[in-house]
């Protein structure tokens, strides 16, 4: 009887190990697919570009940035929320191109940028003294 119990426990341990590995791999793949789509990558790229542009500019600078590829990712969300796609609070640039998400990046320049978005995906920024 003792030998049969050991065989049963080894089989049960292997099944639990396989199930846990499958769960881990499926969660990992879900995370990779979610991060791999264009929304998250574009949010990061635009937030960093805008922050670097602000850092490199002086008061009185006018910046035009085209984000038309951002409007192509989810047109229905963009048409309703384009004015909130780029926001600047303090020294933090936040780009939000999807309903659940967004990416923030900070800049160091002591200026106060004013952002104006157009539905076509164009940003107009004016840099003022902080």
Check residue 8 and give its pLDDT: 57
Q: The pTM is what?
A: 0.69
Helix (H, G, I), strand (E, B) or coil at 46: helix
Check residue 130 and give its pLDDT: 60
φ, ψ dihedrals at 7, nearest 5°:
-65, -40
Instruction: List CB contacts of 126: < 8 A, sequence separation 6 or more.
Output: 61, 62, 63, 113, 114
Which segments in the chain show pLDDT lower than 70? Answer: 1-9, 36-38, 129-130
For residue 34, give the H/E element and its range. helix 2-36
Does residue 64 contact residue 50 with C-beta atoms inside 8 Å? no
The rounded distance, in Å, linking the Cα atoms of 78 and 74 is: 6
Check residue 25 and give its pLDDT: 97
């Amino acid at each position: 009887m003792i030998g049969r119990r050991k065989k049963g426990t080894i089989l049960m341990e292997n099944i639990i190990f396989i199930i846990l590995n499958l769960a881990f791999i499926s969660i990992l793949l879900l995370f990779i697919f979610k991060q791999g789509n264009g929304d998250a990558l574009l949010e990061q790229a635009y937030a960093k570009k805008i922050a670097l542009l602000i850092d490199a500019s002086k008061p009185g600078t006018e910046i035009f940035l085209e984000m038309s590829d951002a409007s192509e990712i989810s047109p229905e969300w963009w048409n309703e929320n384009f004015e909130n796609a780029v926001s600047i609070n303090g020294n933090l640039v936040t780009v939000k191109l999807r309903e659940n998400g967004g990416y923030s990046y900070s800049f160091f320049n002591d200026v106060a940028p004013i952002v104006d978005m157009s539905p076509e995906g164009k940003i107009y920024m004016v840099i003022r003294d902080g």
